[in-house]
Amino acid sequence: MKKRTEKPIYVTEPFLPPLEEFTPYLEKIWESKWLTNNGPYHQQLEQALCEHLGVNHLALFVNGTAALITALQTLQITGEVITTPYSFVATAHSLLWNNIKPVFVDIDPVTMNLDPNHIESAITSQTTAILPVHCYGNPCNVDRIQQIAAKHKLKVIYDGAHAFDVKYRGESLLVHGDLSVLSFHATKVFNTFEGGAIICPDAKTKQRVDYLKNFGFADEVTIVAAGINGKMNELQAAFGLLQLNHIGHAIRSRKKIDCRYREALSGVSGITCMAEPGVTVRNYAYFPVLVGADYPLTREELYQKLKGQGIYSRRYFYPLISNMPMYSELASANVGNLPKANSVAESVLCLPIFPALENSEQQRIIDVIWNPE
């Protein structure tokens, strides 16, 4: 057996700026003793992100899941919500935490997003909202979704956890819908260790979000809602400000890796790279490929083969949310209702992509895919 000496390659590696750049932020926090509760770094990061993303109002959160749960609370969503089964589990879990029934609708196998053609037939008298995901940062069909929502008087909340810095038709993708939610988890393009945000269309909505993320406190003695503790602390916010200085470089590095994969894998029969969306400035957050019947290995075999070589690709998103035990009994979770989502979940593999991935490491991955035997 060949002895392996190369270091393992994970699907992603958090982007960490040089440690010494973080020290001045820490010193300020120690000096002020202001650790959380809308501190100076929290205020600065909200402002900086609004400017960077080109949005008017943004409320920071301790993580993306708390932001999703609070977004549903903000718009007082109840009953049934139409959503995609092809996402990270937090999308649907945020509905269960609000006692809302998820109604799954199939995806478009090219964009891997909620297929608008199936939305209307899933609407019932109980439906109050649509919760789509800009999967891998691919823009949803925001025009069609908006049309359907307007016609049926539904709210739209976008799970934009993958869509940081994605521009669509010249503006932030996150301006669409009634609210959009971001995640700044360590594995995301922009991270604050853990973190998240809600993009709000106006100051009044942000005010309500701010009450809800702080136990419902409007002032010291006035509690206006049964809010949660969803506040981002000063360490997270400071790290976000530092990270923002480097985000352009980080995304450019990702873009190079994306281009190299596309070029190198274009001749491999049975491997399909995700189609690049039009009129979109991407963030290159993920590199999903579909492993087809023409490829000599199944998706599982390729996943294991790579793993054996110290390359940890991920089956995002498998299993499908609708096949998890807390959802699988729902009528809409039936495999027959979601053929495309089931088929993509069975054949997708996300390859390593992150700013520090070296050429030689990427070549190792490409070589295994070309010569898996």
Ligand X SMILES: *Cc1c(COP(=O)(O)O)cnc(C)c1O
Identify whether the C-beta of residue 36 lies closer than 8 Å to the C-beta of residue 231. yes
Comparing CB distances to ligand X, the nearer of 29 and 350 is 350
- Provide, rounded to whole angstroms, the least separation between the CB of residue 153 and ligand X: 26
Cα 186 to Cα 142, 157, 190: the distances in Å are 27, 23, 8
Q: Please name the helix (run of DSSP H) or strand (run of DSSP E) that holds residue 101, with its range, or none.
A: strand 101-104
- What distance in Å separates the CA atoms of residue 100 and residue 278, rounded to the nearest whole number? 34
The alpha-helical segments, DSSP class H, found in the chain are 23-32, 40-53, 64-74, 90-96, 142-152, 203-212, 234-244, 247-265, 299-308, 339-347, 359-370
Residue identified by tokens 């009634």 is: 178
Q: What is the nearest approach in angstroms of ligand X to the Cβ of residue 230?
A: 11
Nearest C-alpha neighbor of 82 from the set 212, 177, 220: 177
Question: CA 367 from chain center: how many Å?
Answer: 29
Q: Please, which residue, 154 or 161, has the CB nearer to ligand X? A: 161
Would you say 200 or 285 has its CB closer to ligand X?
Answer: 285
Report how far residue 58's alpha carbon sits from residue 45's, in angstroms, rounded to the nearest whole number: 10
Site of interaction with ligand X (CB under 6 A): 63-65, 87-88, 90-91, 133, 159, 161-162, 183, 185, 196
Give the nearer residue to ligand X in terms of CB position, either 116 or 137. Answer: 137
Query: Least distance to ligand X from the beta carbon of 248, Å?
Result: 22
User: Least distance to ligand X from the beta carbon of 162, Å?
Assistant: 6
Nearer to ligand X, 238 or 369 (CB): 238
By beta-carbon distance, which residue lies closest to ligand X?
A: 64
CB of 31 vs ligand X, minimal distance in Å = 29
Residue 334, C-beta contacts closer than 8 angstroms, at least 6 positions apart: none
Nearer to ligand X, 223 or 247 (CB): 247
The minimum distance between CB 5 and ligand X, in angstroms, equals 33
